[in-house]
Amino acid sequence: MRDTSRMVDMTNGSIWRHMVKFAVPVLLGNLFQQFYNTFDSIVVGRFAGKDALAAVASSGNLIFMMNAFFIGLTMGAGVIISRWFGGKDDERLEAAIHTDVAFGCLCGALLTVVGMVFTPQILIWMRTPEDVLPLSTLYFRIFFAGSLASVLYNTFTGILRAIGDSRTPLLFLIFASGTNIVLDLIFVGAFRWGVAGAAGATVISQVLSAVLCGIRLMHMEGACRLNLRRIRFDRVQLRLVMNQGIPTGLQNSIIAIANVVVQSNINTFGGDVMAGQGAYSKVEGFAFLPITAFGMAMTTFIGQNLGAGQYERARKGARFGVICSIVLAECIGVLIFFLAPYAVRLFNDDPDVVAVGVRAAHTEALFFFALAMAHGISAVMRGVGKAKIPMYTMLGCWCLLRVAYITVMLRYFKDMLVIFTAYPLTWMCSCVVFIICYLRIDWEKAARPIPY
């Protein structure tokens, strides 16, 4: 028996309603998460100064690099879980869920050790300025102390979304976001703990999110219920998860490594540029909201329908999701383009910091349609079981081409505009490849049972 109170079987009914109903809670959840991540930087910038803002705001690339591979593995598990859920295969569904959680525990413990031990050296490799380095090191070490909770939260929400429940993660994330905001005001605003307070508030909120999602899974019925005594590795399911997850994890890592290299170049321009670019990156994060929401919706929708053998329905859902993602991301890009001076000033009103953030926005924001298309088709490829295609495309366009362009151009033009233009350039190049791959998908073949 299944607890169907919040699960969504996407193999029947209106395609667009299922997609929107799933995507909206994810969108709202990401919005709250982006707000409280942004709030971290606003509070730190206002109460602890621009050096602390540089340490926190520039943290995104390194944090994403350290988490990216493990997040990709959970996304791969979501593809497998959604296929078993759509095909009503409860035995394999149960095995996949418990294998996913076991792997999440292992990954979280590993990330904690690696993050806390190697963070100082990585920051030095990134050419972090000496005046920012101590604050960055302190922030990252506290942040990575909570890695287990962060990885398990992503694991639990990946399971819930794979079975169509995107509302539960939203509710728990809202609660955790509110907690984070309150703790930011107390730790940073009242106690003046600076970056340590901001990192501590984030860790506590992540622990709360993970615990609440875990409790929800433990109270479900049937094959989707999490039983702590059954958390173990199933060899067959682990192999399937790894086959889907490793390419996605490598794809995320490739993007993250490229961004870390780019960040190391940004760091050479000094603290003002780090703070301005970091502030803009927080604003830019709002453009990722519809991209992420419809990406998850497409992966779940496609997985469930291919598991049920409904390849034509999966194809229509993919097309709808990609179009929605592109339109919404571009609308946000237009808003950011015009509102950039006001948005960046929320973080720090130093004229030099604001000027850098505005310049970045005016260079990149109108090209968000390409960013959305690339991520949207990437999600489709994961859903049809072709996770290696996005990995190779990102490696070529978002890593090798981007880094080569910046490295060569900065030798001749020592200007931040070189770095800003690298992003839309590589987004557009990847779109050409992704469109070709999308048009060549054999949907009927993708709906055949997974070999195991």
Burial of 269 (0-12, 13-18, 19+ CB in 10 A): middle
Listed in sequence order, the DSSP H helices in 146-234 are: 147-162, 167-184, 194-218
Question: How do residues 186-231 score in pLDDT, each as one tens digit?
Answer: 998 888 888 888 889 889 988 998 999 999 999 888 888 999 999 9
CA nearest 62: which of 209, 205, 266?
Answer: 266
Query: Which pLDDT score is estimated for 425?
Result: 95
Q: What is the C-alpha to C-alpha distance for residues 401 and 393, in angstroms, rounded to an integer?
A: 11
Q: What is the C-alpha to C-alpha distance for residues 445 and 447, in angstroms, rounded to an integer?
A: 5
Question: How do residues 272-282 score in pLDDT, each as one tens digit?
Answer: 888 888 788 87
Segments of the chain scoring below 50 in pLDDT = 1-5
Q: Rounded to a whole number, what is the largest CA-CA distance in the chain?
A: 66
Helix axes 90-125, 59-86, angle to 10 degrees: 170
Q: What is the C-alpha to C-alpha distance for residues 136 and 371, in angstroms, rounded to an integer?
A: 29
Rg of the chain (C-alpha set): 21
Helix axes 50-57, 133-145, angle to 10 degrees: 50
Q: Is residue 428 within 8 Å of residue 370, measured between CB atoms? A: yes
Domain boundaries of the chain, sorted by first residue: 15-446
Structure tokens at 146: 């909570």
Query: Which pLDDT score is estimated for 2?
Result: 45
Query: pTM of the prediction?
Result: 0.75
Query: Which pLDDT score is estimated for 3?
Result: 47
Query: Which pLDDT score is estimated for 368?
Result: 95
Query: Which pLDDT score is estimated for 338?
Result: 94
